[in-house]
């Protein structure tokens, strides 16, 4: 997959174009059938979450800030009316949101799952799940619906 996208090495100090990263992730998603590709992307998402947490999102209250930062970054790189996240519920103990990003949903599930695993020791009632994946009737794109409670 890397060679198909003209990436011979991953160098942390070098930029890979956004569209190329997205194409690589979609190829990872599509390369295998069944559950294996899902677990590959979930695992990548968990590893990304672990790296992001080290950048200063240490507590669950930071999750709201993290959520807003991911949204801002996504909107910087994408244009359109129905992109990013839509919060359908944001209360003291629950967040329900729709993920309309261009990223594969298994990757995003791994990302959010990785965040919640980090916070689980401080919040034993913490749960995170992908409630559903729906199709947007206007665009035909998939979007994930997630719920975090604590």
pLDDT tens string 139-149 = 787 888 999 88
Q: Residue 132 has what pLDDT?
A: 92
Computed over every residue of the chain, the mean pLDDT equals 78
Distance CA 61, CA 75 (A): 22
Contact 83, 101 (CB under 8 A): yes
Give the confidence band of 33 by pLDDT, cuts at 50, 70, 90.
low
pLDDT, mean of residues 18-36: 72
pLDDT digits (tens, 9 = 90+) for 114-129: 888 888 888 888 888 9
pLDDT digits (tens, 9 = 90+) for 36-67: 555 688 888 898 888 877 766 666 666 667 66
HSE (CB half, 13 Å, CA atoms) of 149? Answer: 6
Query: What is the Cα gyration radius of the chain?
Result: 16
Q: Residue 35 has what pLDDT?
A: 54
The residues that bridge with 142 in the sheet, in sequence order, are: 135
Contact 85, 148 (CB under 8 A): no
Q: Residue 63 has what pLDDT?
A: 65
Contact 87, 68 (CB under 8 A): no
**Helix (H/G/I), strand (E/B), else coil: 16:** coil
Verdict on whether the full-model pTM lies above 0.75: no
Contact 120, 126 (CB under 8 A): yes
The residues that bridge with 132 in the sheet, in sequence order, are: 145
pLDDT higher than threshold 80 for residue 76: no
Residues written for the chain: 150
pLDDT, mean of residues 79-87: 69
């Amino acid at each position: 997959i890397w060679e198909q996208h003209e990436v011979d090495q991953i160098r942390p100090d070098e930029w890979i174009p956004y569209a190329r990263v997205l194409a690589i992730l979609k190829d990872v998603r599509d390369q295998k059938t069944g559950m294996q590709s899902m677990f590959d992307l979930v695992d990548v998402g968990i590893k990304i979450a672990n790296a992001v947490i080290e950048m200063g999102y240490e507590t669950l209250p930071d999750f709201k800030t993290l959520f807003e930062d991911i949204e801002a970054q996504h909107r910087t790189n994408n244009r359109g009316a129905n992109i990013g996240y839509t919060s359908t519920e944001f209360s003291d103990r629950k967040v329900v949101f729709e993920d309309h990003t261009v990223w594969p949903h298994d990757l995003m599930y791994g990302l959010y799952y990785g965040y919640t695993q980090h916070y689980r020791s401080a919040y034993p009632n913490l749960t995170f799940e992908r409630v559903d994946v729906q199709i947007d009737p206007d665009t035909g794109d998939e979007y994930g619906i997630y719920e975090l409670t604590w």
